[in-house]
Structure 1
Amino acid sequence: MKIVRVQDIIGTEREVEGPGWTSRRLLLKKDGMGFSFHETIIPAGSENTFWYKHHLEAVYCVSGNGSITDLATGETHEITDGTLYALDKHDKHILRGGTEDMRLICAFNPPVTGREVHDEDGAYMPDPDND
């Protein structure tokens, strides 16, 4: 059994900040669960383009608001507390913070190692050990 408290992750190597987001990685590949699990904060008014070409991601909003635009279709969906979106087709998207910070709970498959950074497409490169 694993017990992980987000307050114990803040300020460690498991808290990763990028332009327009902060990710607190509660479970990583090395934890052996077959997925990774994160709390991500998207600041109000921010805009991020992401494209997880090598990962599937499910995201559940637990507070705040914003929107997601599917770049393949142009559709924009509002995100509020209680909304889940799943990037089941490796969907390239724009994630925007709304009038207040969004707090998102995210699961990645395959799991991230914690060392990933977004490339020029907004993607994480695949972990060669996941092949």
Structure 2
Amino acid sequence: MIVRNVADVIGTSDEVKTDTWVSRRVLLKKDGMGFSFHETVIFPGTETHIHYQNHLEAVWCIEGDGEIETIADGKKYSLGPGVVYALDQNDEHYLRGGKEPLRVICVFNPPLTGQEVHDASGVYPLVTEEA
């Protein structure tokens, strides 16, 4: 059994921060679950271009506000507590923070190793072996 507290991830190498978000990677590829599990906070007033070509992601919004816009069709969806969205088609999108920090819980398949950040195309690399 794996039991972790997200508070124990803060300040470690499993907490990854960019200019637009901070992600606390609680379960990772090394844990052998077949998915990874993260708590992420999107900073207010920011925009992140994302295109997970190598991963599927499901996101549950639990606090704050924001917006997601799919690039293919320009549709915009409001995000707030209780909203779940799934990038089941590797949907390229913009994720925007609103007036308050947007706290979300994310699941990735295949699992992340922990240090991934978006490249210039919004993609996380697919890591097939531990570094």
Shift of 1:24: 0.2
Shift of 1:115: 2.6
Shift of 1:107: 0.1
Shift of 1:64: 0.3
Question: Is 1:86 aligned with 2:59?
Answer: no
Shift of 1:128: 2.6
User: Aligned letter for 1:101?
Assistant: P
Sequence identity (%): 52
Alignment of 1:7-86 (within 5 A): 7-86=7-86
2:14, 2:115 within 8 Å by CA — same for their partners in 1?
no
Shift of 1:18: 1.2
- Paired with 1:117 and 1:64, the residues of 2 have a C-alpha distance of 22
Shift of 1:114: 0.9
- Paired with 1:115 and 1:46, the residues of 2 have a C-alpha distance of 21
Q: Which ranges of structure 1 fall in alignment gaps of 5 or more residues?
A: none
Deviations 1:46-79 (A, max 9, x none): 1111100000000000000000000011000000
Instruction: Normalising by structure 2, report the TM-score.
Output: 0.96
User: Aligned letter for 2:71?
Assistant: L
- Paired with 2:46 and 2:6, the residues of 1 have a C-alpha distance of 23
- Paired with 1:41 and 1:104, the residues of 2 have a C-alpha distance of 6
How many aligned residue pairs are there? 130
- Paired with 1:117 and 1:40, the residues of 2 have a C-alpha distance of 13
